[in-house]
Structure 1
Amino acid sequence: MKRASFIRHSGKFAILPVDNIDTDQIIPSREMKTVGRTGLADGLFAGWRYLSADDRTPNPDFVLNDPERSGTTILVSGENFGCGSSREHAVWALFEYGIRVIIARSFGDIFFNNCLRNGILPIRLNSEDIDKIMALDRDTTLAIDLPEQTLRCDNSAMPFDISAYGKRLLAEGLDPIELTLRSFEQIRHFHREDETLRPWIYSSAH
């Protein structure tokens, strides 16, 4: 799953005004039929998107099935989004579907960090700002500026916090392993020097 760098994003939003949406609701375990990061979008919110899990009859009342929400890239939700199990498939399914930003009052910690590692920006906003977004006309475009850490909509600017580490992962389109490999030569140099200084540490490797 190729991740482009995330610097700025403007897009259509959809509202899921539900607290405590857990990872099993984001992608039920029955939908995780692959160990890879692709092939999961069809199972996203499967318990809500479909009237029947067997024949995939769309639920017309679910927001992502609304034709006017086609092309949604931003989700807006309530408290504790992504709680529950640590399954990374939940983030992979969201990304493959096209979601690039999730705005909520709070997140499950593991889910929040999985988003940063997989190209999705999770934004925590206070209740007042969330309510402002939920009251917007649905045709309003939300604009996110990662360097400025600002969300803009309807002439309002809403700042958000993000760690320097998470910001770098998103801005450079990297996961933690790829970020570590950026320092491969420095790491190898350190090991060579350390082996000279403390050869007994490495003796079992030969």
Structure 2
Amino acid sequence: MSNWREILESQLDGGCSELSVDEAADIYSNAPLDELMFVASQRRKSQIPGKAVTYLIDRNINYTNVCTINCHFCSFYRTPGHNESYTQTVDQISERIVELERIGGSRILMQGGVNPSLPIEWYTDLLQELSKRHPTISLDCFSPIEIEGISEVSGLSTRDVLSLFRDSGMHGLPGGGAEMLVDTVRSGISPRKGSSDNWLRVMSEAQSLGLITSAT
């Protein structure tokens, strides 16, 4: 039996306790949308009083389409050596950030593929140069599977890669590559992408280093 009403009411009593996984699943599956939206709005107002709701302007930038993971659903990637493959230069990426700055943007989400031809210095040089050229832009770059690929090429641990990137100017990680964090599903659509545990481990390492993360 669903306890969605009690769960929502508990979020209005001022305590605002963190939901358990089961509670979150319950209200997601059973609570009427209008009541869920009302409680969410009240929670927001309790943390940020007033009627102003803010948002940020960001831009997705794909720095390369070369990838060796070959997910079944992806029409974006090209294998190494393909005549439609590309890797953008620093100047090309910077120009896209300039376009973002012109409209008041504040963040980029930069992802590509697992490109084995790029040494780790390519990434650190890119981050350092973009940080210098665009100091007001948050650089959220490289999904966990890309971090794993860079780790494999460089011989560094994923944590060391993340630490090096943070010190080079990276603000956080976008959440790409999550797809389904259920290995039976994941192995069917992305068999070369690694386990859910690996994705979660890289994100946990990033968070422990003070990097911002998300999941998509």
Taking structure 2 as the reference length, what is the TM-score of the superposition?
0.33
Greater helix proportion? 2
If asked which structure has higher relative contact order (CA below 8 Å, sep 6+), I would say: 1
